[in-house]
Amino acid sequence: MTTETMLKTHPSAGANTADLAAVIDDVLACMQACLSCADACLHEDMVADLRQCIRTDQDCADICEATLRVLSRQGSTDTNILASLLSACVAACAACAAECESHSDMHEHCRACAEACRRCESSCRRMLEDLG
C-alpha cells in the first residue's frame, strides 16, 4: 500500500492528498537515510572524524520522525505546530546535508544522505510556503 492510498482512506482526506503523500515519502526517506548514514559512520575507520556527522544525522532523523508523525495526522492539525515542525525539518535537513556533503567525496553513504536531506528540505519548504 502506498502512502497516498493510505491517506485517501482517511475520512478527512483533502484534495491535496498526492502532495501530502509526496512530502511524507520524502521525510520518511530522509529519516531512513540519516539513520543509515549515522550507522555507517560508526563503522568507518575514521569514526572520530565523523562525530559531528553522526550527531547531525541523529538530530535530523529525530526531527524528521516528529514531522512525519504530525504530517500523517489529517484531522484538525494546528497549522502553527505544523509550520514549526516543517521549519525545524528544513533547518535540520539543511544542516545535515551540508555536513554530509563535506564528507561525500570519501563516503558514499554521506552523499546519499545529503541528497535525501536536500529533497526533504525542498519538500518541507514548499509545504511551509503553501501553509503561509
- 7, part of any domain: no
Q: Which residue from 75, 61, 73, 56 is spatially nearest to 28, judged by alpha carbons?
A: 61
Asked if residue 67 is part of any domain, the answer here is: yes
What are the tens digits of pLDDT across the range 13-66?
776 888 999 999 999 999 999 999 999 999 999 999 999 999 999 999 999 999
Helix axes 17-42, 108-131, angle to 10 degrees: 150
CATH assignment of the domain containing 71: 1.20.1270.360
Angle at 113 between CA 110 and CA 117, to 5 degrees: 135
* Segment 92-107, tens digit of pLDDT: 999 999 999 999 999 9
Split into its structural domains, the chain has a count of 1
Q: Is residue 46 part of a domain?
A: yes
Q: At what angle do helices 17-42 and 79-101 cross, to 10 degrees?
A: 40
Q: How confident is the model at residue 4 (pLDDT cuts 50, 70, 90)?
A: confident
Is there a domain that residue 8 lies in? Answer: no
In a domain, 2, yes or no: no
Does residue 36 belong to any structural domain of this protein?
yes
114 lies in a domain? yes
Q: Which domain holds residue 58?
A: 16-131
Residue 6 lies in a domain: no
Q: What is the CA radius of gyration of the chain?
A: 15
Name the grid cell of 3: 502512502
Beta strand segments in 1-132, E: none
Cell triple for 4? 497516498
Tell me if the pTM is above 0.85. yes
